Amino acid sequence: MPRIVVANDQSISEAAALLQAGEIVVLPTETVYGLGANALDSDAVSKIFKAKKRPSFNPLIVHVIDKQAASKLVEMDERAQKVADAFWPGPLTLILPRKENSGISDLVTAGLETLAVRVPSHKIMRKVMKEAGVPIAAPSANSSGEPSATTPQHVAQSLGDAAPFILAAGACDVGLESTVLDLSGEVPIILRPGAVTSEDLEPYLGQVEIDMGAHEKPQSEIKSPGQLLKHYAPKIPVRLHAVDVQQDEALLAFGSIKFMGMKAGGHVKDMPDTAFRNLSESGDLNEAAKNLFMMLRDLDKPEHKAIAVMDIPNQGIGVAMNERLQRAAKKYSPKDIK
């Protein structure tokens, strides 16, 4: 079993030392847990791909302590400076032209001319980064294709012994992965929606495009290789737009359940605790985002036929939640849910 070690001065130093020694370490961030390695060390980075069973064509995000450290790795134009000043540290990843001789392992970029950089705000993550003193490559700490993990226990469930050291700091605040913003071309494009929304970015950048459907395009047009994959999928089917619950389904609710019906009779409020979660009883989108992956994992049990999910308003961070849910549901066609 992996070691789940509560973060304190000693364990933070241990995590930093492991990173310096070329090992992989699970680290808390404000978005989701990350599986970190020294981004300058190809052997260390290769351990990430192996532990996650991640295809080598899918590049990683490099985490750095501040904008200055980022500007050593990538070309930061005026637009990048502006959004970095406004949103770093925080849940925003920038895709920018990479600088030559930055020392970043070629495995991190998967052969692309661009590099993804992010300055996380999580206190523990920042302490580890300061002590380690190297840029940290870190994808979400889950097996490739599964929902991201937002608690140390879910990391352990997903990766098992493949990630032997987990630096634990409770549930992640945001609960969804960072917004990925591509600034390598003329038009700013959101490749993955997150807590930083297009409305948040537009005052700094003018119009921002959102391109979340890139996985349906021909390979040559794909900007973010991660978009190719059917990400975020639980093991059992996910049924969206639920207005009722069918026999043997679990329910992931949002807001009031007053008008939810049960196909088999009875009341949703009497469903067993194991088959029912509410993302936010009060309809708070930030609370719901924080709970999304955690609750999907809670309900992802073989005794359930599917997870029925109520509609979530498509605004603010709701856009990002709906994108994750659509991908989770896409893995299955409606005929799979019998």
State the residues that interact with ligand TXA by CB under 6 A.
29, 31-32, 34, 58-61, 93, 95, 109, 112, 114-116, 118, 138-140, 177-178, 180, 191-192, 223-226
**Cα–Cα distance list, 119 to 3, 84, 122, 227, 243 (Å):** 26, 9, 9, 22, 40
C-beta closer to ligand TXA: residue 191 or 245: 191
Rounded to 5 degrees, what angle do the CA atoms 234, 52, 31 make?
70
- Looking at the Cβ atoms of 54 and 290, the one nearer to Mg ion is 54
> 105 is in the binding site of which of Mg ion, ligand TXA, none (Cβ under 5 to 8 A by kind)?
none
Nearer to ligand TXA among residue 179 and residue 280 (C-beta): 179
Tokens 């404000």 belong to: 30
- For the bound state, the minimum distance from the C-beta of residue 274 to ligand TXA, rounded and expressed in Å, comes to 28
Cα–Cα distance measured from residue 125 to residue 128, given in angstroms and rounded to the nearest whole number: 5
- Considering beta carbons, is residue 218 or 272 the nearer one to ligand TXA? 218
**Residue 121 bridge partners (DSSP):** none
* Residues engaged in binding Mg ion (CB under 5 A): 140
- How far is 184 from 161, CA to CA, in rounded Å? 37
Q: Which residue's Cβ lies closest to ligand TXA?
A: 226
Q: Which of 268, 237, 263, 233 is nearest to 338 (CA)?
A: 237
**Smaller CB separation from ligand TXA, 157 or 246:** 157
Which is nearer to ligand TXA, 60 or 250 (by Cβ)?
60
Could you tell me the smallest distance in angstroms from the CB atom of residue 8 to ligand TXA?
Answer: 21
State the binding partner of 89 from ligand TXA, Mg ion, none, CB within 5 to 8 A by kind. Answer: none
32 binds, among ligand TXA, Mg ion, none (CB under 5 to 8 A by kind): ligand TXA
Q: Which residue is nearest to Mg ion (CB)?
A: 140
Q: How far is CA 309 from CA 235, 238, 249, 251, in A?
A: 15, 7, 10, 6
Cβ of residue 282: shortest distance to ligand TXA, in angstroms?
Answer: 25
Within its chain, how far is the Cα of 264 from the centroid? 36
Least separation, in Å, of the C-beta of 179 and ligand TXA? 8
Residue 232: CB minimum distance to Mg ion, A: 8
Beta strands 34-38; 165-168: pairing state: unpaired
Cβ(94)–Cβ(84) below 8 Å: yes
